[in-house]
């Protein structure tokens, strides 16, 4: 068997007849010929994720049947052919000559389109090279990518047909609408008109309908590449690439972790945290948005038949609120199916004991079966981000259920934090005590872990409520001034703007990847009327977050970087050994989405595309799922951690999809606000 060119293998040579196969279906090929690496040709590297040593040729020596006096000399072959020709009847000879002449004529007629086709291939290859950030390590994958790509771009009408096909079962929308809750905003239908809709369903319906027509024009993100006087459209469908990534992640989850919290893709097993099907719930609205209706229906069936919150289990208030409560609420809004609202109400009610503390600052953990709550075993503190980033969800639950208890509890937390001593220029410390209600560990300030979403939710609550709650806006604006004054610096040698940390007056040039939510939040604020310099800062920080990916050998960001500030530094970024992991986090992709929506600058999409490709290259597990990795600096051995976080499906892939979609009405940022786990919740209608 010989590899002739990408994907073409001569698999037999018997009696002078060559049989050619694409190689993708060559049974047992991968294990027979690359025994050390277990490479799945349709998916990617598996096992220890080492590429095999490169093998371009695998040869087979075959002996043809009846080859007794065969000597393969030119003279022997000429004589044997001539003898066979002479033995044919006149009619047979004429038929053969006629066929050959016909084939020649066809060949001449199709010559221009064939050459066009090959010219096309050259341009695709060139484009890939231009975008390649890093030397290609796994050479087989690009070859397979090309194989899977349509060689001749489809016509717009073909694309349209294909797009229309992919919108999922047509009955589904109506079915879900009919099951939708009967809210006061519902609009009764006349005979023959559209089915019952309520205002939130109407939003996604409009987007979906508009999407069907618009998507055909927009779903293929087609950069034009000029070459030798004519343009060529590179047929990469980025939206479809995100759907593929989701399907692949879902495949692993479904096969090895169905109904469990998290997939462990390397060991083909699962991990439990709360025992509540975390990944499945976190991913519900992503499936809806990506039009993966079959997958959505399967997951919905699980929610309706298997999901129960009546369990003797401790859950983290913040994590279960942003991932599960947020996921259920947004899915309810997108689908109109009251199943999700009922579940959200059940969970929200079971989480309420967390607020039974002396200070009304909630405990971090709740037993949702027993109705008891407690702080972590080692402290009576909660983290500030956790108690101040549950507000969007609880406020929305109150609005939907007309039960004010949920909102009252979380509003009280915000009012208390608003008045607290211990801030510095609007920046908050990282811990708060549930007994005293005071900040603890004073003097430490970060926009990373333990404080990040406090700032995000100041702005987003203000937007959710119709920009009326001025205390929230004041705190947000003041905090940004605090960031500029205390935490914002430039690196050396390239003067990247970054947000560091402060510990008792000492500045540290350390920045978590988590801080990369900030460019998106700043841009969102500017879009909603806050000062234009917020957008300028957003752009600068966006560049920095991108560089945190681009400067790594895998093109994937580490969890934490340290920026160099000394004149004459060689590189801008240092990464400590313990910080080299990547957990498939969303923040940079999230910010790229906001920046692209508001500026329409294509570079943000291209950056996102590079990142998606690197996730595919270094974190995709052949048997299904994606894994977080230990070392973004080692493309030879990124060292898989064997865990797919639920936010990869809930957030990262959703933001990729929204980044590549051209439809600004697909979750319009004038109608929706995303919670910190990427679950869209409506901006309250009274607010508009
Ligand atoms: C998510 O759970 C949320 O985005 C949260 O705000 C921060 N951590 C993860 C993603 O990184």
Q: Is the pLDDT reported for residue 181 higher than 70?
A: no
- At residue 270, the 3 state secondary structure works out as strand
Taken as a whole, the chain contains a residue count of 688
> Which of 320, 453, 653 is the best mutation target for the ligand 1 pocket, counting ligand atoms within 8 Å of the beta carbon and taking the most?
453
Nearest CA to ligand 1 atom 10: 585
Cβ burial of 574 (10 Å; 0-12, 13-18, 19+) is middle
Residue 109: predicted pLDDT: 60
The encoded tokens of residue 101 equal 């002449």
CA pseudo-torsion sign 50, 133, 632, 602:
negative
φ/ψ of 683, rounded to 5, equals -70, 130
Cα 645 to averaged position of ligand 1 atoms, centre (Å):
10
Cα 111 to averaged position of ligand 1 atoms, centre (Å):
55
User: In the 8-state DSSP scheme, what is residue 71?
Assistant: -
Contacting residues for 684 by C-beta, under 8 A, at least 6 apart: 399, 464, 465, 466
Q: Is the pLDDT reported for residue 272 higher than 70?
A: yes
Contacting residues for 465 by C-beta, under 8 A, at least 6 apart: 395, 472, 684, 687
Q: Which tens digits make up the pLDDT trace of 571-617?
A: 999 999 999 999 999 999 999 999 999 999 999 999 999 999 999 99
The encoded tokens of residue 387 equal 């108690």
Cα 70 to averaged position of ligand 1 atoms, centre (Å):
71
Q: Which tens digits make up the pLDDT trace of 130-154?
A: 222 222 223 223 322 332 332 223 3
- Report the C-alpha gap between 666 and 167 in whole angstroms: 14
Mean pLDDT of 498-515: 98
Q: Which tens digits make up the pLDDT trace of 385-428?
A: 999 999 999 999 999 999 999 999 999 999 999 999 999 999 99
Q: Is the pLDDT reported for residue 36 higher than 80?
A: no
Cα 650 to averaged position of ligand 1 atoms, centre (Å):
10
CA pseudo-torsion sign 617, 618, 621, 622:
positive
Q: Is the pLDDT reported for residue 123 higher than 70?
A: no
Q: Which tens digits make up the pLDDT trace of 40-71?
A: 322 333 333 333 333 222 333 233 333 333 44
Residue 57: predicted pLDDT: 27
State the catalytic residue, choosing from 587, 651, 663, 677: 587
* End-to-end CA, the chain: 67
More confident: 259 or 77: 259
Nearest to 307 by CA among 278, 327, 330: 278
Nearest CA to ligand 1 atom 1: 677
Contacting residues for 513 by C-beta, under 8 A, at least 6 apart: 545, 548, 557, 558, 559, 560, 561, 582, 585, 587, 588
> Using an 8 Å Cβ cutoff, are 638 and 630 in contact?
yes
Cα 652 to averaged position of ligand 1 atoms, centre (Å):
10
Residue 77: predicted pLDDT: 54
> Which of 454, 513, 514 is the best mutation target for the ligand 1 pocket, counting ligand atoms within 8 Å of the beta carbon and taking the most?
514
State the catalytic residue, choosing from 559, 572, 610, 677: 559
Mean pLDDT of 72-85: 61
Residue 162 CA to chain centroid, in angstroms? 23
Nearest CA to ligand 1 atom 11: 585
Residue 90: predicted pLDDT: 82
Nearest CA to ligand 1 atom 3: 677
Mean pLDDT of 9-23: 30
User: In the 8-state DSSP scheme, what is residue 644?
Assistant: B
Q: Which tens digits make up the pLDDT trace of 437-458?
A: 999 999 999 999 999 999 999 9
Ligand 1 atom with the shortest distance to the CA of 513: 11
> Using an 8 Å Cβ cutoff, are 612 and 563 in contact?
no
The encoded tokens of residue 458 equal 């100041």
Query: Does the active-site annotation cover 559?
Result: yes
Looking at the DSSP bridge assignments, the partners of residue 510 are 562
Within 6 Å (CB) of ligand 1, which residues are found?
453, 514, 585-586, 647, 651, 676-677
Cα 523 to averaged position of ligand 1 atoms, centre (Å):
19
State the catalytic residue, choosing from 262, 381, 452, 590: 452
Nearest CA to ligand 1 atom 6: 676
Contacting residues for 411 by C-beta, under 8 A, at least 6 apart: 391, 395
> Using an 8 Å Cβ cutoff, are 374 and 363 in contact?
yes
User: In the 8-state DSSP scheme, what is residue 652?
Assistant: I
Q: Which band of pLDDT confidence, cut at 50, 70 and 90, is reported for residue 78?
A: low
Cα 510 to averaged position of ligand 1 atoms, centre (Å):
19
Cα 454 to averaged position of ligand 1 atoms, centre (Å):
12
Residue 94: predicted pLDDT: 86
- Report the C-alpha gap between 398 and 684 in whole angstroms: 12
φ/ψ of 507, rounded to 5, equals -85, 140
Q: Is the pLDDT reported for residue 628 higher than 90?
A: yes
Nearest CA to ligand 1 atom 2: 677
Ligand 1 atom with the shortest distance to the CA of 389: 6
Cα 429 to averaged position of ligand 1 atoms, centre (Å):
19
State the catalytic residue, choosing from 215, 319, 337, 610: 319
Q: Which tens digits make up the pLDDT trace of 518-555?
A: 999 999 999 999 999 999 999 999 999 999 999 999 99
C-alpha pair distances (Å), 86 with each of 8, 63, 70, 80, 168: 35, 27, 20, 10, 61
Nearest CA to ligand 1 atom 8: 514
Q: Is the pLDDT reported for residue 269 higher than 50?
A: yes
Mean pLDDT, all residues of the chain: 78
Q: Is the pLDDT reported for residue 293 higher than 90?
A: yes
The encoded tokens of residue 292 equal 């993966």
HSE-CB at 101 with a 13 A cutoff on CA atoms is 6
Neighbours of 271 (CB within 10 A): 16
Residue 426: predicted pLDDT: 98
Ligand 1 atom with the shortest distance to the CA of 587: 11
* Helix/strand number for the chain, H first, E second: 25, 23
Per DSSP bridges, beta strands 680-682 and 224-227 are unpaired
Query: Does the active-site annotation cover 154?
Result: no
Residue 76: predicted pLDDT: 53
- At residue 25, the 3 state secondary structure works out as coil
Residue 99: predicted pLDDT: 83
> Which of 384, 676, 678, 679 is the best mutation target for the ligand 1 pocket, counting ligand atoms within 8 Å of the beta carbon and taking the most?
676
Residue 662 sits at the vertex; the CA angle it makes with 659 and 664, to the nearest 5 degrees, is 90
Residue with tokens 């949702």: 368
Neighbours of 680 (CB within 10 A): 25
SS (H, E, C) 566-609: CCCCCCCEECCHHHCCECCCCHHHHHHHHHHHHHCCHHHHHHHH
Residue 423 sits at the vertex; the CA angle it makes with 421 and 429, to the nearest 5 degrees, is 110
């Amino acid at each position: 068997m010989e590899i002739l060119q990408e994907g073409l293998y001569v698999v037999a040579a018997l009696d002078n007849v060559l049989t050619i196969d694409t190689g993708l279906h060559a049974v047992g090929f991968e294990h027979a010929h690359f025994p050390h690496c277990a490479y799945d040709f349709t998916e990617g590297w598996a096992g220890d994720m080492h590429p095999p040593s490169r093998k371009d040729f695998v040869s087979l020596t075959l002996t043809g049947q009846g080859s007794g006096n065969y000597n393969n000399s030119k003279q022997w072959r000429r004589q044997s052919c001539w003898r066979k020709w002479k033995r044919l009847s006149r009619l047979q000879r004429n038929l053969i000559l006629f066929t050959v002449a016909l084939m020649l004529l066809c060949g001449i007629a199709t010559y221009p389109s064939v050459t066009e086709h090959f010219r096309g291939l050259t341009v695709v290859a060139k484009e890939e090279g231009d975008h390649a950030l890093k030397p290609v390590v796994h050479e087989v994958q690009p070859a397979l990518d090309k194989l899977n790509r349509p060689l001749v771009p489809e016509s717009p009408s073909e694309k349209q047909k294909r797009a229309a096909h992919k919108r999922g079962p047509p009955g589904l929308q109506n079915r879900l609408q009919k099951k939708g809750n009967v809210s006061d905003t519902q609009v009764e239908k006349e005979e023959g008109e559209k089915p019952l809709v309520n205002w939130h369903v109407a939003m996604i319906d409009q987007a979906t309908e508009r999407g069907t027509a618009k998507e055909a024009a927009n779903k293929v993100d087609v950069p034009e590449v000029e070459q030798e006087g004519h343009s060529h459209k590179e047929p990469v469908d980025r939206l479809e690439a995100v759907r593929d990534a989701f399907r692949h992640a879902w495949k692993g989850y479904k096969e090895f972790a169905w109904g469990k919290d998290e997939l462990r893709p390397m060991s083909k097993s699962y991990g439990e945290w709360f025992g509540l099907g975390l990944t499945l719930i976190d991913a519900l609205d992503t499936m809806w948005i990506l039009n993966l209706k079959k997958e959505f229906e399967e997951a919905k069936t699980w929610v309706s038949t298997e999901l129960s919150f009546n369990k003797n289990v401790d859950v983290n208030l913040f994590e279960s609120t942003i991932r599960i409560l947020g996921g259920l609420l947004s899915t309810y809004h997108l689908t109109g199916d009251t199943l999700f609202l009922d579940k959200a109400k059940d969970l929200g009610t079971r989480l309420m004991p967390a607020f039974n503390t002396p200070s009304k600052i909630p405990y971090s953990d709740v037993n949702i079966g027993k109705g008891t709550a407690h702080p972590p075993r080692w402290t009576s503190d909660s983290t500030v981000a956790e108690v101040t980033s549950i507000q969007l969800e609880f406020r929305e639950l109150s609005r939907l259920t007309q039960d004010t208890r949920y909102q009252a509890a979380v509003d009280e937390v915000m009012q208390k934090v608003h008045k607290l001593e211990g801030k510095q220029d609007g920046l908050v410390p990282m811990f708060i005590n549930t007994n005293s209600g005071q900040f603890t560990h004073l003097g430490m300030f970060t926009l990373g872990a333990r404080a990040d979403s406090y700032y995000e939710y100041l702005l987003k609550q203000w937007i959710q409520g119709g920009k009326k709650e001025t205390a929230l806006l004041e705190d947000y604006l003041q905090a940004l001034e605090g960031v500029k004054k205390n935490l914002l610096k430039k690196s050396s040698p390239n003067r990247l703007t970054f947000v560091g940390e402060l510990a008792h007056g000492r500045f540290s040039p350390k920045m978590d990847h988590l801080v990369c939510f900030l460019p998106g939040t700043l841009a969102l604020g500017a879009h909603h009327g806050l000062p234009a310099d917020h957008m300028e800062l957003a752009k600068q920080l966006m560049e920095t977050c991108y560089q945190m990916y681009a400067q790594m050998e895998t093109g994937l960001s580490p969890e934490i970087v340290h920026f160099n500030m000394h004149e004459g530094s060689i590189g801008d970024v240092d990464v400590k050994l313990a910080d080299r992991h990547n957990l498939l986090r969303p923040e940079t992709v999230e910010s790229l989405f906001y920046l692209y929506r508001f500026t329409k600058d294509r570079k943000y999409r291209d950056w996102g595309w590079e990142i998606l490709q690197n996730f595919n290259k270094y974190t995709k597990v052949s048997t299904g799922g994606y894994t977080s990795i230990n070392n973004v600096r080692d493309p030879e051995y990124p060292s898989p951690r064997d865990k797919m976080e639920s936010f990869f499906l809930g957030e990262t892939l959703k933001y990729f999809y929204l980044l590549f979609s051209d439809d600004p009405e697909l979750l319009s940022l004038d109608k929706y606000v995303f919670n910190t786990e990427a679950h869209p919740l409506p901006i309250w209608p009274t607010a508009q």
